[in-house]
Chain A
Amino acid sequence: MIELPRVPGQELGMSTVTRRQFLKYSGVVAAAAAPMLTVDQIAAAAVTRPLPLGTPILVVVTLYGGNDGLNTVIPFKDSAYYSARPGLTYKPETLLPLSSDLALNASMTGIKSLWDANKVAIVRGVGYPKPDRSHFSSMSIWQTGSPGAHLNTGWLGRWLDTQAIDPMTAISLGGVLPPLLVGAKQSGSALPLGGLSIPQGVIGTACQRLAVPSPSDNPLMAAAATSMRNLFNVSGTVQPILAKPAPASEDLPTVAGGNAGGDTDLSRQLNVVAKLIAAGAPTRAWSVSLGGFDTHANEANAQALLLGTVSKSISTFLSQMKASGRSKDITVLVYSEFGRRVKANGSEGTDHGTSGPVFLIGDRVTGGFYGDQPSLSKLIDGDLAVTTDFRDVYSSVLEKVLGAPSERILSNWKGRVNAFKS
């Protein structure tokens, strides 16, 4: 339905534009009289400044709906686990043991292999004070990184604010930008599956003119102009790359077409991310997501399918990255807005709960458990305790992955999770 653009990489015109011109166009100087650049120049600017090899890259995987942490990292030796949720537990012999008392859901074989290679840190009992059981409030708290005060910016958005203005620094897959990537000075870009096409011809010129901020714009109108401008910036760079086949993974079988397992939404998203990282996109933070974790009824099968997708998509993705020489640079962060109630609800599902495990995966991670496993015998009003604050995780990710001071982004938060090789 959307016409594919006709901008193969070779025709992009490799004339260099200076950094200064690029920034000027990108809105640092908000003047109606800013000189107009052509699509070719902008695309070239992006292509001519690939992310240097060795630059750390963060990939955030959001699981929407509230993933049941107890059926993800399972206390399979604890009789309280079995008695709290009959009909909703798995047979111990089917699980993937991680230690003497914890095991992964049987569907998570890909992540189990990465665990065995010492590349998975599981941070246990992650949450925040006074857990909120509303999907919307809790997701907003996780994404803004602010349990106390309501903020309009995301924790990665505030990191973006410390970076040079560039719509390609942080990209979210999908048509709608999550609050995670909204900053005060600049926000990340949204990239739908299938990519973007650049408006061409007379209407393309008109759109480029519409993309210039006007002194009379209110903030939302300025944001509308910016979104048009980012269309030219992002699409010019990524479109030719998306037309290429996916990078091959070295140690996983591929299905016809080379997109191993590319039939679920998350794997499609990570497939696009893999192509763009392999091509050298100057992007340091990516956001992908999977929904469906709100398992109020008939949970066991549904969650196993979803976790299987998460596990396979991530292991395939990291495997694909090996050929690009960037697999060492990548850290994957997986979280959800809350865990679920310990006790099953009688529809063979669970209601909204509190803390859950966060996964950090990659070569820069020191594998193992971090944070205490919330005890099933010391529940708080029927819910798991929060043993690790998510800001411990975010601070460490900001410092160790993005190499940025976290103080101003997370209001001087002191806690850390020492899950990264230094």
Chain B
Amino acid sequence: MDTQRLEIARLFHRTGFGPKPGEFAEALRAGVASTRSKVLAPPSKVSFVTPPTFTDLGPRPSPNSPDVVEFSQQLRYQTQQLFLWWLDEMVASPHTLQEKMTWFWHGHWATSIGKVNYALPMFNQNVTMRKYALGNFSEFAKAMFSDGALQLWLDGQENTAKAPNENFSREMMELFTLGVNRYTETDVKELARAFTGYQVSRSSGLVTYNARRRDTAPVTVLGKTGAMSPEEVIGHLVAQNNSALFIAERIWYRFVSSQEPLPQDHPMIKAFADRDVYALMKSLIESSALSQQQYSMVKSPVEWFIGICRATSTTPSKLPSPTKLTNYFSTLSQIPFAPPNVGGWPVDQAWLSSASAQFRLAFATSIIKEANLGELASVSPVNRPAYLADLLGVVEWSSRTAYAMRGVRDDPQKLLVTAVCSPEYVVSQ
């Protein structure tokens, strides 16, 4: 296998959402070092598509009031706008590492609109994730404590001095900052007390402090005792060596391999000493991990879809039916802003059921039907597979897939559908 081509393909698909037309061939000419630098170039902006305006819709009117219809329509409309905006952003962004990190953090602090209900708090959370996507993780974690959507999602407002609720404190340690078994059950209970006293407006996501609900007694969390604010105690969690290890593990799991563990001496752990996410990603990208053949990963449905849109210059919000689009994502079990649980989305084999094979096929057919395939059509049929390998950023076609493509190479639409449903494209090799 051509390892330069392999690493460049991975730089496009892992640290981004796949190449736009021409980018892959250009990167091959420029070489690995130059492609790494390009991925690591600091983004000029964190958002490239103007977001829609999300208004505070206020509390849900009572079921029989005349306002409830308008309210429900607005709620649905804003949710749909939110979903389309982010898909467009992922397709448009020229700084795909920034965008891919935002996507990673969404799966990390996995919050679902299914429970939050309103688009505005979910949008605000996305803005926070963009801001800190490649920033300081300690500041990020503190900001996430005051995130209304996350507070709602994990019953933060149910957590009071009188009746502590451990949901948020447990996940803060287990899933967000330290990892399972790196704290005790007592730490969970103590941390819950340090998190008491906050309330959230459901419709706006605004978090407010309520002194009457606050447990002001000192707490002891991971060996540190004191009457600590949530920010202080989160700072203490993130300062643990285990936190650097945990975030490096999560990045490894989502960017390199879910099958093989992070090597214990990987430089990215040390690179994260100051909790600088950019430094961690730089260390990963400049290490040899992405050139090693064994680290393949299955693209999640969103990654797979965005890759096709980027290659075919498709704008998701301009596809004929947003409802249909949501339905496809729903059948593939991955809807942005609606992860299945606080652990985020599954990986690898979970996306490879016979059901998902069928849905990918139907989904690809519906996207590609709308695409302008003029350039593909102008390539002679015999050269089309090679052209598609560069367009899509595929390392190489197997003899199996080459044979499958031969039967449809005269029909650009069917050929492209076959290519994007092949194991070589569904899997980032």
Q: Using a CB–CB distance below 8 Å, which chain A residues touch chain B?
A: 1-3, 32, 64, 132-137, 167, 174-177, 182, 187, 189-192, 196-197, 199, 202-203, 205-207, 209-210, 212-214, 216-228, 230-231, 233-235, 296-297, 345-347, 349, 351-352, 381
Contact indicator B349/A137 (Cβ below 8 Å): no
Contact indicator B429/A32 (Cβ below 8 Å): no
How many angstroms from the CA of A1 to the CA of B321 in the assembled complex?
A: 11
Contact indicator B165/A345 (Cβ below 8 Å): yes
Q: Is B163 an interface residue (CB 8 A)?
A: yes
Residues of A contacting B164 with CB < 8 Å? 345-346
Interchain Cβ contacts under 8 Å between A and B, 19 examples: A134-B175, A175-B331, A189-B354, A190-B356, A192-B359, A209-B401, A210-B421, A222-B423, A223-B349, A224-B357, A226-B352, A228-B421, A231-B354, A231-B358, A234-B354, A296-B165, A345-B163, A346-B160, A351-B166
Interface string of B396-410 (1 = CB under 8 A from A): 101111011101100
Residues of A contacting B348 with CB < 8 Å? 220
Contact indicator B418/A206 (Cβ below 8 Å): yes
Contact indicator B296/A218 (Cβ below 8 Å): yes
Contact indicator A191/B400 (Cβ below 8 Å): no
Q: Which of B308-340 contact A (CB under 8 A)?
A: 324, 327-328, 331-333
Interface core residue of B160, B350, B396 (most chain A CB under 10 Å): B350
Residues of B contacting A206 with CB < 8 Å? 404-405, 407-408, 414, 418
- Determine the interface band of chain B, counting residues with CB < 8 A from chain A: 35 or more
Interface string of B266-307 (1 = CB under 8 A from A): 000000000000000000000000000110111000000000
- Kindly provide the distance from the CB of A10 to the nearest chain B CB, expressed in whole angstroms: 23
Interface core residue of B185, B297, B328 (most chain A CB under 10 Å): B185
Contact indicator A227/B400 (Cβ below 8 Å): no
The closest CB in chain A to the CB of B417 belongs to A203
Residues of A contacting B158 with CB < 8 Å? 296-297, 345-347, 349
Given known pairs A227-B354, A228-B357, A235-B358, the reply for A220 and B174 (CB within 8 Å) is no
Contact indicator B359/A227 (Cβ below 8 Å): no
Residues of B contacting A296 with CB < 8 Å? 155, 158, 165, 167
In-complex Cβ contact of B398 among A64, A216, A235 (8 A)? A216
Residues of B contacting A199 with CB < 8 Å? 358, 361
Residues of B contacting A205 with CB < 8 Å? 407
How many angstroms from the CA of A176 to the CA of B354 in the assembled complex?
A: 9
Q: Which of B227-284 contact A (CB under 8 A)?
A: 259
Contact indicator A209/B400 (Cβ below 8 Å): yes
How many angstroms from the CA of A2 to the CA of B421 in the assembled complex?
A: 16
Q: Is B388 an interface residue (CB 8 A)?
A: no
How many angstroms from the CA of A192 to the CA of B396 in the assembled complex?
A: 32
Contact indicator B408/A210 (Cβ below 8 Å): no
Contact indicator A175/B296 (Cβ below 8 Å): no
Q: Is B94 an interface residue (CB 8 A)?
A: no
Given known pairs A224-B427, A297-B158, the reply for A175 and B355 (CB within 8 Å) is yes
- Kindly provide the distance from the CB of A87 to the nearest chain B CB, expressed in whole angstroms: 11
How many angstroms from the CA of A233 to the CA of B353 in the assembled complex?
A: 12
Given known pairs A32-B399, A199-B361, A234-B354, the reply for A134 and B174 (CB within 8 Å) is yes
Contact indicator B352/A223 (Cβ below 8 Å): yes
List of 10 A-B pairs having minimum Cβ-Cβ separation, nearest first: A346-B163, A190-B353, A209-B404, A214-B398, A347-B158, A224-B423, A230-B354, A221-B423, A214-B400, A231-B354
Given known pairs A206-B418, A209-B400, the reply for A225 and B423 (CB within 8 Å) is yes
How many angstroms from the CA of A228 to the CA of B421 in the assembled complex?
A: 9
Interface core residue of A177, A219, A235 (most chain B CB under 10 Å): A177
Contact indicator B155/A297 (Cβ below 8 Å): yes
Interface core residue of B259, B349, B404 (most chain A CB under 10 Å): B349
How many angstroms from the CA of A217 to the CA of B352 in the assembled complex?
A: 15
Q: Is B75 an interface residue (CB 8 A)?
A: no
Q: Is B4 an interface residue (CB 8 A)?
A: no
In-complex Cβ contact of A210 among B327, B358, B396, B422 (8 A)? B422
Given known pairs A134-B180, A209-B400, A217-B398, the reply for A1 and B294 (CB within 8 Å) is no
Contact indicator A196/B165 (Cβ below 8 Å): no
The closest CB in chain B to the CB of A189 belongs to B354
